[in-house]
């Protein structure tokens, strides 16, 4: 039962992505296979240069940098979303795999959550 958590909302402006990440971390903590996919505005979670101190929020990039250490299998970034936001592989956190969002990708997962 492999789980895919899709994050399609940008960080900081609402809590949806944080709570989706918490779901992924919980699955990983219970040794359930889980991956995260970032599409649309959600791709902005993966930027290297994030400094949320001025808005008094915790940096999500630090949570994500530790994601694989905590047992999340893959951090996936959608190619089209990267292009849209002018991002290249060099702009992303380490450990992110670039993929293409489509039916075939989703077919690898028995449980898909798009919070």
Three-state SS at 90? helix
Q: Which is nearer to another protein, 7 or 93 (CB)?
A: 7
- Burial (CB < 10 A; 0-12, 13-18, 19+), residue 75, is buried
Q: How far is the CB of 103 from another protein (least distance, A)?
A: 5
Distant-in-sequence, close-in-space partners of 32: CB < 8 Å, separation ≥ 6: 1, 3
Q: Which is nearer to another protein, 48 or 106 (CB)?
A: 106
Q: How far is the CB of 108 from another protein (least distance, A)?
A: 11
Three-state SS at 78? strand
Q: Which helix (H) or strand (E) holds 80?
A: helix 79-84
Sign (positive or negative) of CA dihedral 20, 109, 43, 103: negative
Q: How far is the CB of 15 from another protein (least distance, A)?
A: 7
Q: How far is the CB of 114 from another protein (least distance, A)?
A: 6
Q: Which is nearer to another protein, 29 or 48 (CB)?
A: 29
Binding site for another protein (CB under 8 A): 1, 3, 6, 8, 15-16, 19, 22-23, 26-27, 30, 32, 39-41, 101-103, 106-107, 110-115
């Amino acid at each position: 039962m492999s789980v895919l958590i899709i994050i399609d909302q940008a960080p900081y402006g609402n809590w949806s992505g944080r709570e989706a990440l918490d779901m992924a971390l919980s699955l990983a903590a219970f040794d359930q296979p889980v991956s995260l996919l970032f599409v649309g505005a959600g791709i902005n979670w993966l930027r290297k240069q994030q400094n949320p101190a001025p808005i008094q929020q915790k940096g999500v990039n630090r949570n994500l940098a530790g994601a694989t250490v905590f047992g999340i299998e893959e951090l996936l970034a959608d190619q089209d979303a990267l292009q849209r936001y002018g991002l290249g592989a060099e702009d992303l956190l380490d450990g992110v795999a670039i993929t293409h969002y489509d039916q075939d990708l989703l077919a690898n997962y028995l449980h898909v959550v798009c919070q």
